[in-house]
Amino acid sequence: MVRMPSGLARPIIEQVNTLHAASPRTVPERSGPLRGHRRLLGAALGYLVALGLTCLVFVWTRDGQRLDGWLVPRAERGGGYEQQTTLVEPAKTVLSYFGDPAVLVVLLGMVLLVGALSKRFLAGVAGVAAVLCSVGIARVLKLLVVRPDLGVDGSTTHNSFPSGHAAVAMGLLLAFLLVLPGRARRWVAVPGVAGVSVIASATMITGWHRFSDVVGAVLLAAALSCLAAALTHRYDARDAGLSGLVWAGGGLIALVVAVVLPGGGVFSAMAAASGCTMLAVAPMLVLLR
């Protein structure tokens, strides 16, 4: 047997010990991003399942159609769904402004600009793609989804699921969350959710969409935004923080308020739409880092 000189064996043993000590540290660092992408993909799947359930319950069941009619009832005069309130004209103004293609181009350009300034340009491109896909898929679903006649008073077979305006608004909010730094997201999320709620409420006040259309649009945009975040490889997942819990709690409170409001109607629908929007944004604030 050949013996290695002690002076030569000692450095080799030290190198081997160093490799064994460093290997456990490198594994979590590599598995972290992969685990984060899996969570984002899982969230996207969850949003899509919720989208399908929303369509199933509100479009294809009698009780769901009744709940839609309770929240956004058909007008007694004229037969349309435009609500009898002084908010109709302001709602039409909001929709006409937000529906202007020039305004949409400017907002999408701002997403790309913020992404470039924050060194997240790829995420900005993915966010813009998610917004455009939300519009396209919403239009396709309007053509494919069939709303059956289940004998519900005040309900029609005209399908409006999901809302394109609400999908664009929610998609834009989440696109900005994708490109903004972590500290800025909390401050943008507050006015962003308010803006999405205003646009969603305007579509219901004017009778353009039902409550289920708004919920479906929010879920659709959230699912595509999760896919965009996962594909850009710029985000990781972390455990639920205080901000996500606060947003989820606020959404639940808004839903409770919608239920306890007397008589239902569009104001209950507005509160419920705000609650659903907050609940959909809360996981994004938790997952994006």
State the DSSP code for 209.
-
Distance CA 255, CA 279 (A): 10
Distance CA 70, CA 64 (A): 10
Residue 21 located in a structural domain: no
From the list 147, 152, 110, 146, the residue with the least C-alpha distance to 127 is: 110
Residue 114 located in a structural domain: yes
According to the 3-state scheme, what is the secondary structure of 56-98?
HHHHHCHHHHHHHHHHCCCCCCCCCCCCCCCCHHHHHHHHHHH
Residue 77 located in a structural domain: yes
Q: Which residue is listed with tokens 């401050």?
A: 187
Distance CA 204, CA 276 (A): 15
Residue 135 located in a structural domain: yes
Q: What is the pLDDT along the chain (289 residues), one digit of tens a residue?
A: 445 455 545 554 455 455 444 444 444 444 455 666 788 899 999 999 999 999 999 999 999 999 999 999 987 666 689 998 999 999 999 999 999 999 999 999 999 999 999 999 999 999 999 999 999 999 999 999 999 999 998 899 999 999 999 999 999 999 999 999 878 888 899 899 999 999 999 999 999 999 999 999 999 999 999 999 988 855 444 444 555 656 567 777 777 777 767 677 899 999 999 999 999 998 888 887 6
Residue 254 located in a structural domain: no
How distant is the alpha carbon of residue 288 from its chain centre?
13
Distance CA 229, CA 126 (A): 7
Distance CA 142, CA 160 (A): 6
pLDDT score, position 258: 73
pLDDT score, position 13: 47
Q: Which residue is listed with tokens 């992408």?
A: 37
From the list 274, 266, 275, the residue with the least C-alpha distance to 209 is: 266
How distant is the alpha carbon of residue 21 from its chain centre?
43
Residue 20 located in a structural domain: no
Instruction: Report H helices in the chain.
Output: 6-60, 62-71, 88-98, 101-117, 121-144, 164-179, 182-205, 211-232, 242-260, 266-287
Residue 166 located in a structural domain: yes
- Collapsing DSSP to helix, strand or coil, 183 comes out as helix
Query: Can you list the pairs that 115-122 forms with residues at least 24 positions away whose Cβ atoms lie under 8 Å?
Result: 115/178, 115/179, 118/179, 118/180, 118/181, 120/178, 120/179, 120/232, 120/234, 122/232, 122/234
Residue 155 located in a structural domain: yes
**Residue numbers of the domain that contains 185:** 33-238
pLDDT score, position 138: 97
pTM here is 0.85
pLDDT score, position 289: 64
Distance CA 173, CA 7 (A): 64
C-alpha R_g of the chain: 24
pLDDT score, position 10: 55
Number of structural domains the chain divides into: 1
